[in-house]
Chain A
Amino acid sequence: MTSASPVVEIKQLTKRYGDFTALDSLSLSVGAGQILGFIGPNGAGKTTTIRILVGLSKATSGTASISGADCLQESRKIKRLVGYMPDRFGSYDNMRVAEYLDFFGAAYGIGRRERTRRIAEVLEISNATHMKDLFVEALSHGMQQRIGVARTLLHDPQVLILDEPANGLDPQARIDMRILLLKLAEMGKTLIVTSHILPELARVCDLVAIITKGKLRAFGTLDEIMRDIRQKRTFEIQLVNVEQVDRVAALVAAHLSAPPEDVTVAPAETMVRFATSLSDLELAPLLTHLIEQGETVAQYREVTSDLEDAFLSVTKHDDGPATATADTADQDERPAGSEEQAASS
């Protein structure tokens, strides 16, 4: 699911360091005002992708563009279009926040008067106005992250790329960061955010890309990914007494014509679980059927999956050695939804 006009577009991006393939035919696109959660284990290729996007690194093959500007060929244009916050804050000793932002504003060529206004504005957006007279190196990590976001906003970029913005933040700071990211998306900014804190990411992202060993394993909305990676959904039927358990399990298996391994019982919990690929509409008669058979059902619910489940599900099948040579892109290994995403863009 991307908007009609993608702002960030990556096609068949490959990056090799000698024999090591850090990125392997990565393709994805992100529309205006969308937040892309870019996740993957350490060394998966997230930072390599980001560095290519901001013009700090050169792709071996493939293209990456932002608002139509090629990330490598038009690096000057890219610098104006992108606000990048690396995972390291990059502080300067002995400088106050206002001086720090003033320097970066001047580096982006923003006029003095306009710069003063922008500094006040970005500090306001990142809720950091009270920090302007503080020394940068003395700020706490959470405060530095906010100033980092303020710095990326100074030249009013169209795209913000934030590498691990929630890393090391306390719960309150993390909530503040989440609110800030949503606020930026509301302002029409396109955001690419990497993080290891998946529940946090799941709350703000419109799109999720899961990358492991340089390959895109899944890309789409969280719902799309969940649907793609989990062919069967899991449901739980909470019963009131233990005698019901086997009886209900048999009824469920018979009603759904399910294979025995898909229906499991947990007598201690007075629970029956089953996995099914049926739609909600097809499943609806099951509850009626159970009640008609005289069974008392305390609860009937779907076991929800979250981004962590999706991530683990994608990465657990990928614990082999790192790709050492360029893989011939096997279509079967293409990430769920990636073809559609690329096509829709």
Chain B
Amino acid sequence: MNPVIQREFFGILRSPKAFAALLALTVAFSLAVLMRWPSDAKVDLSGEQSIGVFRVFGYGLLAGVVFLVPAFPASSIVREKNSGTLALLLNSPLTPVSIYVGKLAGVLLFSLLVLVSSLPAAAACYAMGGVDLVGGIGLLYLVLALLVVQYATLGLFVSSHVQSADAGVRITYGIVLGLCFLTLVPHAFYQGGTGWMAEISQWLRYLSPLPVIMRTMGQGSLASRGLMEGGGGTLEFIFLTIGSWLVFGIATLTRLNYRIYDRSRAQGVMTDDRQLSSRMARRLLFVVDPQRRKAGIPWYLNPVMVKEFRCRRFGRSQWLLRLVAGCALVSMLLTFAAATSVVSWGVETIGGLMVFLQVILVVVLTPSLTAGLISGERDSGGWELLRITPLSPFKIVRGKLLSVVWTLLLVLMATLPGYLVMIYIKPVMWLQVNLVLICLAWTAVYTLAVGAAVGSLFRNTAVATTTSYVTVMSLFLIPFLVWLGRDAPFGHETVETVLLLNPVGAALSVIESPGFTNYDLLPAAWWVAGAVSGFMFLVFGVQVWRLTRAV
């Protein structure tokens, strides 16, 4: 047996976290089925109830795969590289292919366990009737199996390119979420249309597993418009997914040699040392030039906040400005697309899409900024240094949180023009827009609090990042999974209660987005968000106090 497979697989199995994840998934699947298991003697001839259970189960399994699988491969190669064991492996008689296969197989075997642990629940769904074995359960497992390999190869690919385990986790989760959700957005505007844009948007949509899974569950796909959806796409999804395995696999293999250690120590020329023309050009190009010598931190700014902005790779000023510019561009494109697309969009739908995009941005961005606030310092040894400075724990915490608050504020502000256009088109919506903006602000605070609190509980940044992502995404996705199962299997009250878990449902309800108009979520959603955020900030504060006191 390939020794790498042995070590990787048993290494994952030995991890208490992996065991806990497996156990939690098995319990969750069983509970999901048990909750909807018929308790009376009525015969459900339509099979509606069993399909309802199958939907919850299927989406839950998809969420499990999306959350769990990328975490292990995303840090696998880079962790070995940084600890020096990859050099030993490359120097051994093992070929790069066997190292790669070993690592891939280790992750796949673990993922297989995840899927196997769900089989009893799948069998229970089938036993309830109304669910097709091949076109339903079989197809679901086929899609999930394809996804598992895609995420494993993607994780290993990212891991072979990054310099730290947490960067690997962040980037991999970002790409996975992008593949799942962002690929659907262009199609929402161009579906039913012709021309190369419509064609590209259609193929982009095939990259996402959601349309295929939703069809398997007997639902129209996300953001589709009834008959215009066009159907099909399963074969294309399979083709693209298998293609991506090959691309990621080959790209990773080309790194598994001396190249992975080839890192230039070139520092670049400081802009201040360049010629005037070059300095001017860079000023125009960057606005905030990363190669320019920085002025000292002024007295009125929290030094920890400035440090956070300066030391993170994504989040330095030039990146933030690019992000804001990107948001403004997307906002404009959204308006343009809505005005020119073949579909007649209402202001409410556009508003819903904007909320949706903003939430994705916040959910993808925030855990990566917050998870490492404390664990990153502890990981690098910086925490000890901060503790010996005269900075108080409160000032450290304030600086760290402010660095994220400013970033999120910029992201939220960047889409304001879009909302202004909405008010211009339909002035009566100004109150709704205000309420939506408050909901979005709460979303940002809520995500920040949860990400920071969860991340602070771990010493290792990669683990903190993974756990933060899984927690935040769970809190945002679970209500929508339940919402997708509205009426069957979940009733109105259940959906309304679960939608209170985060403020996004309230935002969509206020903006009267299709499917959310029947729910009355304000001001309860704000209270819940406030309570959860308050509790999480308390956890964060206690953890910082615990870590800063002398024991």
Contacts and interface: CB of A to CB of B under 8 A. Distances in A.
Given A88-B381, A103-B297, A133 B390 contact: no
Interface string B427-444: 000000000000000000
Given A55-B388, A90-B381, A102 B294 contact: yes
Given A58-B550, A79-B388, A133-B270, A94 B294 contact: no
Given A72-B550, A104-B385, A80 B380 contact: no
Q: Which of A104, A111, A115 has the most CB of B within 10 A?
A: A104
Interface in B276-309: 293-299, 303-304, 306-307
Contacts of A76: 390
Contacts of A103: 297, 303, 306-307, 310
A107 B299 contact: no
A311 interface: no
A115 B384 CA distance: 22
A141 B215 CA distance: 57
A80 B164 CA distance: 34
B506 to A, nearest CB: 37
Contacts of A95: 307, 310-311
B300 to A, nearest CB: 10
Contact of A56 (B270, B296, B380, B388): B388
B265 interface: yes
A134 interface: yes
Contacts of A54: 388
Contact of A133 (B265, B267, B303, B385): B267
Contacts of A57: 550-551
Contacts of A84: 388
A235 interface: no
B147 to A, nearest CB: 32
Nearest to B304: A107
A98 B293 contact: yes
B313 interface: yes
A298 interface: no
Contacts of A86: 381, 384-385
Nearest to A104: B389
Interface string B379-394: 0111011111111000
B382 A58 contact: no
Contacts of B36: none
Given A57-B550, A93-B313, A138-B267, A99 B384 contact: no
Contacts of A94: 310-313, 316
A93 B376 CA distance: 10
A79 B311 contact: no
A75 B550 contact: yes
A76 B295 CA distance: 27
Interface residues of A, number: 41
Interface string A81-93: 0101010111111
B391 A98 contact: no
A93 B550 CA distance: 27
Contacts of B304: 107
A15 to B, nearest CB: 10
Contact of A107 (B270, B312, B389, B550): B389
A105 interface: yes
B314 to A, nearest CB: 10
A303 B477 CA distance: 77
B196 to A, nearest CB: 39
Contacts of B297: 102-103, 106, 112
Given A75-B550, A86-B385, A102-B296, A109 B390 contact: yes
Contact of B311 (A93, A108, A134): A93
Contacts of A92: 307, 310-311, 380, 382
Given A55-B550, A98-B293, A112-B297, A138 B385 contact: no
Contacts of A89: 381
B389 A79 contact: yes
A116 interface: yes
Given A57-B550, A133-B270, A98 B294 contact: yes
A284 B154 CA distance: 81
Contacts of B550: 55-58, 72, 75
Q: Which of B293, B312, B388, B550 has the most CB of A within 10 A?
A: B388
A134 B382 CA distance: 19
B293 A108 contact: no
Nearest to A101: B296
B467 to A, nearest CB: 21
Contacts of A104: 385, 389
A142 B532 CA distance: 47
Contacts of A93: 164, 311-313, 380
Q: Which 9 A-B pairs have the closest CB atoms?
A: A88-B381, A106-B303, A90-B381, A92-B311, A107-B389, A106-B297, A112-B296, A90-B385, A58-B550
20 contacts: A54-B388, A72-B550, A84-B388, A89-B381, A92-B311, A93-B311, A94-B310, A99-B294, A99-B310, A103-B306, A103-B307, A106-B297, A107-B303, A107-B389, A107-B391, A108-B390, A112-B295, A115-B296, A133-B293, A134-B267
Interface of B: 164, 265, 267, 270, 293-299, 303-304, 306-307, 310-313, 316, 380-382, 384-391, 550-551
Given A103-B310, A104-B389, A107-B386, 4 more contacts: A56-B388, A90-B382, A108-B390, A138-B265
